[in-house]
């Protein structure tokens, strides 16, 4: 697990295309041969690190959600679970952009894209369903609303990481995203 954490740390700060297996081995304080033994290729290690980071994010969201929450409270809990801090979010989204690039260009990463969609859109659907049940949200197509919710959150992060004052405006972007989601869901 430490190897995967080390890979995530170095890839999120430097980018997966700018590092070698030797860089990752040095970060993890292991030999390059050990990395090759466990993962075989840099792409396999990248895949494992991306899966680990995405599962960790989904777990963090799930821990914040409670079955009895109203739709509005569930949106707030989800946003608070996703907007964890400026540096952590910047690192994750830069890493996530590598995932998107790999998924589009490397056939072996296609399954990871499907996993991301199923996992994240599934969580978003649960939040939307809670709001539909309690009358907070006016949504006709649950799956479409979940995809739009993901697009809005991802789009917010993409805009935010490109601003010069990203460190100082993180919580402002979080609050804008929360309001935009409530509007999207007809709250």
Residue ranges of the alpha helices (H) in the chain?
A: 2-14, 21-28, 32-39, 42-64, 71-82, 86-105, 110-133, 142-161, 166-184
Q: Exposure of 22 by Cβ count < 10 A (0-12 exposed, 13-18 middle, 19+ buried)?
A: exposed
3-state secondary structure string across 119-160: HHHHHHHHHHHHHHHCCCCCCCCHHHHHHHHHHHHHHHHHHH
Structure tokens given for 146: 């979940």
User: Under a CB-based contact definition with an 8 Å cutoff, are residues 90 and 97 in contact?
Assistant: no
Residue range 13-39, pLDDT digits in tens: 888 888 899 999 998 999 999 999 999
CATH classification for the domain delimited by 42-184, as one of 1.10.3720.10, 3.20.10.10, 1.10.357.10, 1.20.1440.230: 1.10.357.10
What gap in Å lies between CA 101 and CA 12, rounded to an integer? 14
Domain ranges of the chain: 42-184
Q: How many CB atoms lie within 10 A of CB 70?
A: 16
Distance CA 25, CA 7 (A): 8
What is the pTM (predicted TM-score) of this model? 0.89
The pLDDT assigned to 78 comes to 95
Residue 26 has which token pair?
């040095």
Q: What is the pLDDT of residues 6-15, one digit of tens each?
A: 999 998 888 8
* pLDDT at residue 183 is higher than 90: yes
């Amino acid at each position: 697990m430490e190897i995967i954490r080390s890979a995530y740390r170095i890839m999120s700060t430097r980018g997966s295309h700018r590092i070698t297996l030797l860089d990752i081995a040095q970060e993890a304080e292991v030999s390059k041969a050990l990395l090759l033994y466990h993962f075989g290729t840099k792409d396999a290690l990248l895949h494992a690190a991306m899966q680990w980071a995405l599962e960790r994010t989904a777990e963090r969201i799930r821990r914040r959600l409670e079955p009895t929450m109203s739709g509005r409270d569930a949106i707030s809990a989800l946003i608070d679970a996703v907007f964890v801090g400026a540096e952590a979010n910047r690192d994750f989204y830069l890493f996530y952009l590598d995932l998107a690039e790999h998924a589009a260009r490397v056939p072996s990463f296609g399954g990871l894209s499907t996993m991301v969609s199923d996992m994240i859109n599934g969580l978003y659907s649960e939040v939307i369903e809670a709001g539909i049940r309690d009358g907070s949200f006016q949504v006709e197509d649950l799956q479409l609303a979940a995809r739009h919710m993901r697009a809005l959150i991802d789009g917010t992060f993409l805009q935010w990481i490109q601003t010069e004052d990203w460190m100082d405006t993180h919580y402002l972007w979080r609050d804008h995203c929360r309001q935009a989601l409530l509007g999207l869901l007809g709250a």
